Every structure is written in structure tokens, then in C-alpha cells.
């Protein structure tokens, strides 16, 4: 129905003093920070010696450079969400990276042009964790929740005639998370300088309450501070044409309320993510006092017991994934290019929605969702009052939950991508009457702050919430797994529909296949890997096909959010107590962002724009000659024929004997012999329409490089992700290669990180060397602030080396 991305009138990345002549100036505090681990006190003092501190750039994750260590955050716990009956030792649960402890950040800045009638805010978009903020020896504020956005008015602490010293203290406690949370100032920090008579921070709320084919009513509520002020809002389309202009009536107290008509509105959706912008000017006696630009979308959402979920009047089901906030080898430090790559990969799979599990999303992620057309389920908490881990959010729930929700809603409510809020995930509070009261209280806060969107909770204790009324009070009942209880929950809940708020939890390791290929629950293997036949799952979860059946056959199931779109650091189920394992196996893509086979299973269902034909496994099985080696095909076609070295293995057609037969083509009795396997797909008329071949490769011979982008912006943070693989002398990919490679970057770029997707690897991401895993890895190259050519060279013993040229160009500053 609506959206907002805050883009202020002047945006400055500065090393020296900024100019403050505009009515509102936003200053990103990115460069020239100093950092030190382990200081307990004194760092807020101006005279403290920081000469030995490490220079860093924000966003920053202090722990991602490791090293990986089994002893980090060992937990002797019983994980009730995993249906464990007794406690056991857990290793790698939070990524085995050194995030636990304290850290200090310091930065100096000047504001010599600050006027007496101006105010200064400092805004943090996330700080892990429990940030305490000091300015010039004075504590100006603190916040507990590391995933939330917050700001303080620091006007009274600012020095005008000398440098200001900003210091931030952070603490990460042991057993405070169930996954790798990151550490440090991992999201952006900004100064906002504006007139004291101005629009409040996050003070504008844009909705589109009425839409027809011919017009849309845009409601703009704007909170402000000051007296005798007027307000004018101008709406522009994506071509920057003015489509409406409106001068507000006198305010109601400290809020203007405008209703503005747009003719022939273009609607926002995943297929057509059209965005408008509203430029709002606050004036006093004709003098401009403040100005903000709000990007929004025109759209409607409806959750109906008869039809389920509708966007712009069209019934549809969520084709969603859950995503943690870390960016794999980059850690928790936010990077918009890396986020764009993640979301592009998901979008190309046919995904149309994301659940920010189990944390509040970054502003950058929501901006990209608006722009790219991805619906969003914005989640708030993983814990309420009852703990999952001793030092988790339960410690602040009673005092902080309301203000945390208010900040979440106010900072993000204008993004059209957000179509639902979540107040919690698998909270132990699902049991008992106190939990029902908490669920109702949290939902009412969301309703009060945003009456336009419904609220859900990811519920895994389905039998309990059916009995105690917890599930009945939710706007949208979200079920995590428990597919065998869907029918009963539908009958007992009054809403008339259910959401698969978390589904599947199928585990796999890219390019690894286990024999025999059979359904296995919570199995482990000696190499600490999982099979990419996509038949292994956890003791609380299920295979993707079980969810597909419900989505296809039950109109009242309104979609799913798969756990997970990408592997993430920490939670290495089913190897949480078996070392080494330090990242998850749940992902549809691995930690490097390389698609696993399961990517194409989902693509075959979700991507309706282009066909899918994918065959597995690879065909390099020295030592398995004569043994049964099943071949699976994930395809959008209904039937296909398999050939082994030219001999037909027969035609398979999708059918409903089992959920797997309904969504996969499977030749289970193929005998391995080296050579070529080919799949030939047929259309509904039985005509051949597509084919794929897989060949047995020889020894690794040459390195191959493929960049996702070759032109970067010279802003010191843009990235190119280069997929590295090896081929034999005939150019055939080597799917089992494990060669050690070395990376060198020269020119106007730097080596940032590498990742091979192996959850058991203890190699550090930032070192310029790594082994291939299942024949591939990804190297990340980062631009500098200088324009010019960038060269990545990759070499390995006994391999023909390769290099690739990139180019970095100057960023256009507006």
C-alpha cells in the first residue's frame, strides 16, 4: 500500500568539516574510525590514548576475520526447538568466530558551521550489541537490541569550535544468540543536521488507502516540531514528472494530514515495482525550514478468509525464503552490492518474498526490495520473556519490546515491499496464558503504529497454540514446519487461512552426494557433509515436496518461506556437536552464494518466465563403476528421457505416487559408467524441447573465472563476485576438484574475501588463498576510491592460471 526510503536533501561522505548551508544535511560517518577490542572503561574520555587502535571503515564486523575456534561459545544446552530431549555440547552454534567480548569505536568530526537554530541527531541503523554512545565525555544514550535502528539528539553535547569525539562501546555476551550475530558497528551511522523547527525523524507516514484504475488517494501524515509552519508535498513519478502537488491544511497539533490524488496510478508489485517519490517541504513565512524525499509505492494488500492473500486485488501465494542478516564471507557488515546479489539470485529462482529471520531488516535490504520487487515479512524478535539462550533478548523484553517495535515500524513502515510484520519466532512463550497475553500485547502495538498491515508469529508449538488460543488471536497464523498438523490447525483456527512461515529445513552440501539416495531424518556422515540428493532433513522438519503438495492442493495455504535462501554462519545442524562445522547446511544456495541442486527444484516451480532443466549428480565417480548411482532431474517440464552413453534409461513422467515423484524426475536404478549422461525434456505433446549433458571430467587443468559484474563504482565499497572453477584439457568442469588456489588483485581494487561454501572449512575468508570445494569457490574484489582498471589473477600448482579485468569508475555525486 505504501513505502518510504529516506533520502535526505544533501548526502555527504566526508573526511573534513561538512557544509551545513542546506536546511537538512545527512552525513554518513563511514571513514576514519578507530577500533579496539577488550577495553572496559575510559575510552569515552577525550584524552584517552588511541594511538595503537586499528583504523576501520564503518560498517564493520570485528569478528569476521576470525580465526575459527572450536572453543568459542561452547554451549551445553538442550535445544527445545530441535525437539531435543536432553542437553549436549554444541560447537559452532554461533559460527566459531570471536564475536564475544567488548569493543570500542572512536571518531572525531567537526561541525564548525552549526547554527544556533539547528539540531543534530546521531542515527545508528544497528550496532551489535548493547551500544553505549558517548560524545565529548558525555554519555548521550544507549540501546540494548543489536538489530534495531535508534537515534539520539546530541545537540547539547556538540562542540562548535573544536573537534568532537564520538565513542561507542559494544558488548556481546556468550550464549546471547543461536547463530552468528556479528560484532561491532555493522550497519551505517549517520549525523542528521537540521533546523530545530523541522520534520521529526521517521515522522512521515505515506499510505494509499483508496485505489481505482483511474486514480489513487495518497495519504501523507507528517509530524513536525515548531510553530506557525506550513507544508507542501509534490509527488513525482519514476521519470521525475510532477504528478501532483498539494499544500497542507493547518495541522492537527504537531501533525499535517494530506490527501493527494494521483491520476492513472502505476501499481507496485514484484512484477512491476513502480515507485513514486514525495518531496515534502516545511516552510515558515515562505522560508524553507526542512525538506525530505520519501519514496513510496501504490499498492493494496488483503488477507481474506475466502481467498487468502491478495496484492492489488490479485490472489497469489508467497514464494518466499528466510534470510539471516550475515553476508557469508563478509560477515554481518552491511554491503548493498552484496545484498543486491543475494536478492537477484533469489529473484532469478522465482522467489517473490523474503522473511527477515529472525531479526529486523536493514534499511538497504528494504530499499532493494522496493526497487527489485520483493515482498517482505519484517520480523522483530527471536525471544520474548522466556529464554532460548541465557543472555538473549529475554533480558530486555519487558522494558524494551514496545520501543523496539515502535522504532522498527516508524523507520520502515513506508516501504511497499513490507506486507506483513512478525512479532516473534518459535518463542517458548507459546505455552501458557502469559504467552497469549504477550502475543496480543505485541500485536496491538503493531496495529497502533501501523493499522495497515497484519501481524504473524512463526509458531512451532502448534498443538499448544491450538489449545490455548495463541494461534487464534494472530492476524496471520504462521506455522513453522509441522506439515502433518496443517489440516487440524486450519479447522481450529478462525482466520480461514495458514501461512508456512518457515518450511522445509532440508539440508545439503553443494556437490556432495551420498549413497544410497534415500530419505533420511537427522542423519550425519563421517565427512560432516549432507547429501545434495535433497532427501535429508531435520527431525522437526521435512522435504520441500511435502510443502509443495500443501501449497498446490490447499487454497487456504497462502504461501511459504523456506528455511533458508542462503547458508549462514552458525547453526551447523545436524553437526552442532561435531567439529568442525561452523555454518549452516539449510541454504538453497551455499555460503558463497553458489546455487545448490535444490535451487533448481524451487526454480522449476517458482520461475514461470523461463523453463528449468537441471540434472544431478555430477558424473565423476571413480571407484563406483557398476554401482547404482541415481540420476534426478529438476525441471519445469512434465517428462524427460535419460541417456547414459547414448543408451536410453527410459522416459520418466511426474506423477503423484509420492510427493517426490510429483515434483522430481528420478531414475533410481542407473548403473555408473564414465562418459556422458544426457537428459532430453519433452513438452505436453511429447516433442523434445530442451536437453542437458553432463560429462565425466579428467584431471584439473585450467582455471576459469566468471564475474557477476565487471564495472564497479569507485566508492571504496562496491564489489564484484567472481566465480572460480577448474576444467580439464577438454574444457569439462571438474566437479570434485579441491585444488588450493591463490588470489592477487592489482590496480584500482583490493582483494576482499573468498568463500568455497564448505561448512567444515576453517580457512579464513580474508586470506588470499583457499581450496576449491566441489570444484568451485567465489572471490570478492572491492573497489577503492580511485578510478581505473582492476586485475584479479588466480593461480594454483599444476594449473593453467587465469586473470580477469574489471574497471572502476567515478561515482556520480548528486
How far apart CA 643 and CA 649 sit, in angstroms, is 6
> To the nearest 5 percent, what fractions of the chain are helix, strand and coil?
15, 40, 45
Distances (CA, A) of 292 to 153, 188, 417: 18, 19, 20
Concerning whether 536 is annotated as a catalytic residue, the answer is no
Mark whether 426 is an active-site residue: yes
d(CA 401, CA 144): 10
The b/e string for 174-193 (b: 16+ C-beta within 10 A; e otherwise) is bbbbbbbbbbbbbbbbbbbb
The span from the CA of 479 to the CA of 458, in Å, is 6
> DSSP labels for 757-805?
--TT----TTSSEEE-BTTEEEEEEEE-SS-EEEEEEEE-TTSB-EEEE
Residue carrying C-alpha cell 563478509: 330
Q: For 173, how many CA atoms within 13 A lie in the half-sphere containing its CB?
A: 14
- 527 close to 644: Cβ distance less than 8 angstroms: no
Those residues with Cβ within 8 angstroms of residue 648's Cβ, 6 or more apart along the chain or in another chain = 641, 642
CA angle 634, 639, 640 (to 5 degrees): 75
- Bridge-based pairing state of the strands 688-695 and 676-682: antiparallel
Taking a C-beta distance cutoff of 8 angstroms, is the pair 207, 219 a contact? yes
CB 588 within 8 A of CB 321: yes
Please classify residue 726 by burial: count the beta carbons closer than 10 Å to its beta carbon, then call 0-12 exposed, 13-18 middle and 19+ buried.
buried
Which residues are bridge partners to 682 per DSSP? 639, 688
Q: What is the DSSP string of 444-484?
A: HHHHHH-TTS-EEEEE--HHHHHHHSHHHHSSEEEEES-GG
The interaxial angle of helices 597-606 and 336-349, nearest 10 deg, is: 60
**Backbone phi, then psi, for 72, in 5-degree steps?**
-70, 120
* Catalytic pick among 26, 44, 383, 426: 426
Quote the CA–CA distance of 569 and 326 in Å, as a whole number.
7
Distance CA 775, CA 802 (A): 16
Quote the CA–CA distance of 420 and 770 in Å, as a whole number: 41
User: How far is residue 752's CA from residue 782's CA, in Å, rounded to a whole number?
Assistant: 6
Q: Which listed residue (26, 502, 560, 571) is catalytic?
A: 502
Q: How far apart are CA 354 and CA 564, in angstroms?
A: 10
Residues marked active site are found at 426, 502
Amino acid at each position: 500500500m505504501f513505502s518510504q526510503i529516506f533520502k535526505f536533501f544533501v548526502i555527504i561522505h566526508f573526511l573534513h568539516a561538512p557544509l551545513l548551508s542546506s536546511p537538512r544535511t545527512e552525513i554518513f560517518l563511514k571513514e576514519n574510525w578507530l577500533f579496539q577490542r577488550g577495553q572496559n572503561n575510559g575510552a569515552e574520555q577525550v584524552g584517552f590514548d588511541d594511538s595503537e587502535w586499528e583504523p576501520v571503515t564503518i560498517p564493520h564486523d570485528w569478528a569476521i576475520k576470525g580465526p575459527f575456534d572450536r572453543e568459542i561459545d561452547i554451549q551445553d544446552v538442550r535445544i527445545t526447538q530441535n525437539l531435543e530431549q536432553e542437553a549436549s555440547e554444541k560447537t559452532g552454534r554461533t559460527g566459531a568466530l570471536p564475536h564475544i567480548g567488548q569493543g570500542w569505536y572512536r571518531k572525531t568530526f567537526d561541525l564548525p558551521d552549526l547554527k544556533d537554530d539547528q539540531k543534530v541527531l546521531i542515527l545508528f541503523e544497528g550496532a551489535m550489541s548493547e551500544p553505549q554512545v558517548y560524545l565529548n565525555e558525555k554519555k548521550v544514550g544507549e540501546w540494548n537490541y543489536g538489530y534495531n535502528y535508534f537515534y539520539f539528539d546530541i545537540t547539547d553535547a556538540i562542540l562548535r569550535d573544536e573537534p568532537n569525539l564520538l565513542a561507542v562501546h559494544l558488548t556481546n555476551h556468550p550464549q546471547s544468540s543461536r547463530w552468528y550475530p556479528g560484532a561491532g558497528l555493522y550497519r551505517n551511522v549517520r549525523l542528521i543536521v537540521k533546523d530545530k523547527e523541522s520534520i521529526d525523524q521517521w515522522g512521515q507516514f505515506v499510505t494509499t488507502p483508496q485505489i481505482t484504475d483511474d486514480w489513487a488517494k495518497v495519504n501523507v501524515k507528517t509530524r513536525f516540531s515548531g510553530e506557525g509552519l506550513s507544508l507542501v508535498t509534490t509527488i513525482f513519478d519514476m521519470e521525475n514528472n510532477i504528478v501532483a502537488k498539494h499544500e497542507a491544511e493547518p495541522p492537527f497539533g504537531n501533525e499535517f494530514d494530506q490527501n493527494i490524488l494521483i491520476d492513472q496510478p502505476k501499481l507496485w508489485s514484484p512484477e512491476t515495482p513502480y515507485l513514486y517519490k514525495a518531496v515534502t517541504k516545511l516552510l515558515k513565512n515562505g522560508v524553507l525550514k526542512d525538506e525530505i524525499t520519501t519514496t513510496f509505492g501504490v499498492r493494496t494488500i488483503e488477507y481474506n478468509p475466502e481467498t487468502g492473500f491478495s496484492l492489488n486485488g490479485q490472489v497469489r501465494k508467497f514464494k518466499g525464503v528466510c534470510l539471516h542478516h550475515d553476508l557469508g564471507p563478509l560477515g554481518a557488515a552491511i554491503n548493498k552490492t552484496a545484498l543486491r546479489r543475494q536478492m537477484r539470485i533469489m529473484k532469478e529462482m522465482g522467489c517473490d518474498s523474503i522473511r527477515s529471520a529472525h531479526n529486523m531488516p536493514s534499511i538497504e535490504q528494504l530499499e532493494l526490495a522496493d526497487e527489485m520487487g520483493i515482498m517482505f515479512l519484517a520480523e522483530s524478535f527471536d525471544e520474548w520473556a522466556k529464554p532460548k539462550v541465557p543472555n538473549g533478548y529475554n533480558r530486555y523484553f519487558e522494558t524494551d519490546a514496545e520501543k523496539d517495535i515502535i522504532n522498527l515500524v516508524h523507520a520502515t513502515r513506508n516501504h511497499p515491499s513490507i506486507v506483513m510484520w512478525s512479532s516473534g519466532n518459535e518463542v517458548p512463550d507459546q505455552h501458557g496464558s502469559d504467552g497469549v497475553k504477550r502475543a496480543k500485547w505485541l500485536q496491538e502495538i503493531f496495529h497502533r503504529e501501523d493499522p495497515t498491515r497484519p501481524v504473524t508469529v512463526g509458531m512451532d508449538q502448534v498443538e499448544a497454540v491450538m489449545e490455548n488460543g495463541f494461534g487464534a488471536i494472530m492476524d496471520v497464523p504462521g506455522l513453522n514446519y509441522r506439515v502433518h498438523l496443517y489440516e487440524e490447525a486450519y479447522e481450529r483456527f478462525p482466520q480461514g487461512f495458514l501461512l508456512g512461515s518457515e518450511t522445509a529445513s532440508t539440508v545439503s552440501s553443494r556437490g556432495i552426494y551420498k549413497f544410497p539416495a534415500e530419505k533420511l531424518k537427522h542423519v550425519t556422515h563421517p565427512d560432516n557433509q549432507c547429501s545434495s540428493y535433497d532427501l535429508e532433513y531435520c527431525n522437526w522438519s521435512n522435504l520441500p515436496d511435502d510443502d509443495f503438495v500443501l501449497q498446490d492442493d490447499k487454497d487456504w495455504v497462502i504461501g511459504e518461506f523456506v528455511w533458508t535462501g542462503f547458508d549462514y554462519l552458525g547453526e551447523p545442524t545436524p553437526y552442532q556437536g561435531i567439529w568442525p562445522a561452523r555454518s549452516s547446511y539449510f541454504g538453497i544456495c551455499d555460503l558463497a552464494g553458489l546455487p545448490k541442486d535444490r535451487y533448481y527444484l524451487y526454480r522449476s516451480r517458482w520461475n514461470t518466465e523461463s523453463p528449468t532443466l537441471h540434472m544431478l549428480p555430477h558424473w565423476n565417480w571413480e571407484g563406483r563403476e557398476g554401482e547404482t548411482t541415481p540420476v534426478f532431474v529438476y525441471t519445469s517440464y512434465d517428462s524427460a528421457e535419460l541417456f547414459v552413453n547414448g543408451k536410453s534409461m527410459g522416459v520418466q513422467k511426474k506423477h503423484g505416487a509420492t510427493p517426490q515423484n510429483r515434483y522430481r524426475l528420478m531414475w533410481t536404478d542407473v548403473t555408473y559408467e564414465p562418459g556422458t549422461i544426457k537428459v532430453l525434456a519433452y513438452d505436453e505433446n511429447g516433442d523434445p524441447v530442451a536437453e542437458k549433458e553432463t560429462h565425466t571430467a579428467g584431471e584439473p587443468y585450467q582455471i576459469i573465472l566468471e564475474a557477476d559484474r565487471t564495472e564497479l563504482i569507485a566508492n571504496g565499497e562496491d564489489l564484484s563476485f567472481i566465480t572460480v572453477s577448474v576444467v580439464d584439457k577438454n574444457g569439462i568442469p571438474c566437479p570434485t576438484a579441491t585444488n588450493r588456489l591463490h588470489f592477487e588483485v592489482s590496480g584500482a581494487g583490493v582483494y576482499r574475501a573468498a568463500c568455497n561454501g564448505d561448512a567444515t572449512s576453517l580457512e579464513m575468508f580474508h586470506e588470499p588463498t583457499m581450496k576449491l570445494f566441489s570444484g568451485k569457490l567465489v572471490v570478492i574484489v572491492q573497489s577503492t576510491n580511485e578510478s581505473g582498471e582492476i586485475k584479479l589473477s588466480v593461480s594454483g600448482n599444476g594449473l593453467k592460471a587465469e586473470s580477469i579485468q574489471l574497471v572502476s569508475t567515478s561515482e556520480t555525486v548528486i
